[in-house]
Structure 1
Amino acid sequence: MAVEQSAAFKTAVEDSRKLTGKPSNDQLLELYALYKVGTGEDFSKSPDPGMFDLKASNYAHPTELHMYQGKAKKNAWKKHADAGLTPEKAQEQYVALVESLKESVGYDANKVPETVGSS
């Protein structure tokens, strides 16, 4: 379902690519989930991450596998979908989070935007 994206949301999406520092994994998961809900993507039609989603695993301890990135992203998105968060509210929360991150991790308006998913 196509959702109307506010000008503030579109600006925040662009600004998120101009952060100078790296947000925490939890903050990145929150950005991902709010973006997915905010753009109206249908959680129920999203494929489940693969069993061997090894491209970027998160480890709680060096020897203990905590969770795979794909599963963590899907779970973050599911949390908001299950809570009934509307796309409009998700966009507002996304904008607020990006503004907070601009203060905490830094922001450069002149920075060439990073490609989503780059390291």
Structure 2
Amino acid sequence: MATEDEFHAAAEDVKTLPSDPGNDTKLRLYALYKQATEGDVQGKRPGFTNLVGRAKYDAWAEVQGTGTDEARDAYVTLVRSLGA
């Protein structure tokens, strides 16, 4: 299980990835980070004209119900797999 320190280190490491992991992976990272730090997604889904906000909301909604520790572990594992 990833510690809180490992999670925060991974959050810093993701800023210096050797290459762009692509939009799907960035959305997954976003969703796991938000789930680990804030819990389940809240609020209304952005409208169809806000494509970025909608994609982020949808990605976060996909991990709804995931526990904090599980989301933290998945985030750290994903960042490590990206070479950070």
Tell me, which stretches of 5 or more residues in structure 2 are unaligned?
none
Aligned-pair Cα RMSD in Å: 1.7
How far did residue 71 of structure 1 move? Answer: 1.0
Which residue does 1:60 correspond to in 2? none
1:49 aligns with 2:46: yes
Residue 70 of structure 1: which of 42, 53, 78 is its match? 53
TM-score, normalised by the number of residues in structure 1: 0.62
The letter for the 2-side match of 1:79 is E
Q: Distance in 1 between matches of 2:37 and 2:81?
A: 20
Larger radius of gyration: 1
How far did residue 38 of structure 1 move? Answer: 0.6
Which residue does 1:27 correspond to in 2? 25
Which residue does 2:81 correspond to in 1? 100
1:88 aligns with 2:69: yes
Percent of pairs with identical residues: 39
Structure showing the higher helix proportion among its residues: 2
4+ residue runs of structure 1 moved beyond 3 angstroms? none
Q: How many residues align?
A: 82
TM-score, normalised by the number of residues in structure 2: 0.86
Tell me, which stretches of 5 or more residues in structure 1 are unaligned?
54-67, 108-119
Do the aligned partners of 2:40 and 2:61 also contact (CA within 8 Å) in 1? no
